[in-house]
Amino acid sequence: MPPRRAITGRSQEPRQRFVEELRLRRAQKGDSLRQLGDALGWDWSLFGKMESGQTLGSPEVVQALDQHYGTPDLLLTLWELAAGDPTQFKERYRRYMALEAEAVSLWHYGVSILPGMLQTHGYASEVLAAGGIKGEELTRQVEARMGRRELLVGEDAPPFRTILSEAVLRTSLEDAGQWRKQLESLAEATERPNLTVHVLPHDSGPHGLVSTDVMFLRLPDGCTVAYTENAHHGELIQETGSVERLQRAYDAVRDLALSPAESRKFIMRMLEEVPCDPSI
C-alpha cells in the first residue's frame, strides 16, 4: 500500500507540527508574544521559545493556550504526541504535578540533588541518565523537567524557598563545564526576588529530614500538601497531621541552615573551585 499523502501540507513530524499549530493559532488570534504573555500570565519569552521549538513548555501552559484559542485539547494532544509519551510523568507524580502548577508558594529541602525547577539542561541530563533513563525517554524527561522551570519565571511567579544540604553542592557532575553552568545558574537564582536559597552545612548535625527530599505546596484554598521522595519512591501527603509534622521538621532544618546571604557566598566559593577550563 502506498504511503498516505499528506492532505494539509503541514509537517508530519510531531514536534514541528506542534510548533506550526502554535504559530498558526496566534496569527489567527492576532496576538503579539507580549500580548499572549499578558493574557495568560506567563513570561512572553516562554511562548517565543515554544514557537521556535526550543522547548515544548509544560502541559499546564498548553492547556491555557487551548483555552485562550478556543481549541479544546487540540494543542494538548499535539503536545503529547510531540513529547512522545502522554504519560511522561509517571503515574505517582501526576497528581503532584497538577497541584504544583496551582501552588501559590513552594518550599523545599534537598538531600543530594537540586530541585527540578532549578536544574539546568546539562544537570538534568546527567542526573536522569544516572538513574538509568536512556535514549528518547531521556530526551522526553529532560524536556519535561525544563518545562517545569517556567513555573518560577515571570512577574506572577510564586515564591519558592529551597534548603540544600551541602551534599547537593559537593556532588559535582562528571562534566565540569556543565557543573560550572549549573552553579552559575544557581548563583543567579539567589538574586531573583521570588527565590530564597539556603545551604545546610555538613556540620549542622542530625535532623528530622536527614534522608528525605520534601516539597511543600501552599494551594489557593490555603491548604498545604507535601511530596516526599527518594531514589525509588515518591509519596504525595495530604493528611493534615502528617503535613504538619513534616513542616515542623522543615522549620527546624531552616533554623540550622545558613542565611540567604551566607548561602550565596557558599555557592560562590563552590563556583571558584571549578576550573574555568573543564580540561584542567
| Model confidence pLDDT, tens digit, residues 4-41 | 444 444 555 787 888 899 999 999 999 999 999 899 88
Strand order in the sheet with 224-229: 195-200, 160-165, 105-110, 213-218, 224-229, 234-237
The pLDDT assigned to 88 comes to: 43
More reliable by pLDDT, 148 or 252:
252
Model pLDDT, residue 236: 86
pLDDT, tens digit, for every residue of 57-104?
777 788 889 999 999 888 988 887 876 543 444 555 677 887 888 899
* Structural domains of the chain, with CATH: 14-84 (1.10.260), 87-113+159-273 (no CATH)
What pLDDT does 201 receive?
96
| Dist CA 200 CA 165 (whole Å) | 5
Counting residues of the chain whose pLDDT is more than 90, the rounded percentage is 51
pTM, whole model, 2 decimals?
Answer: 0.67
pLDDT at 6: 44
pLDDT of residue 229: 83
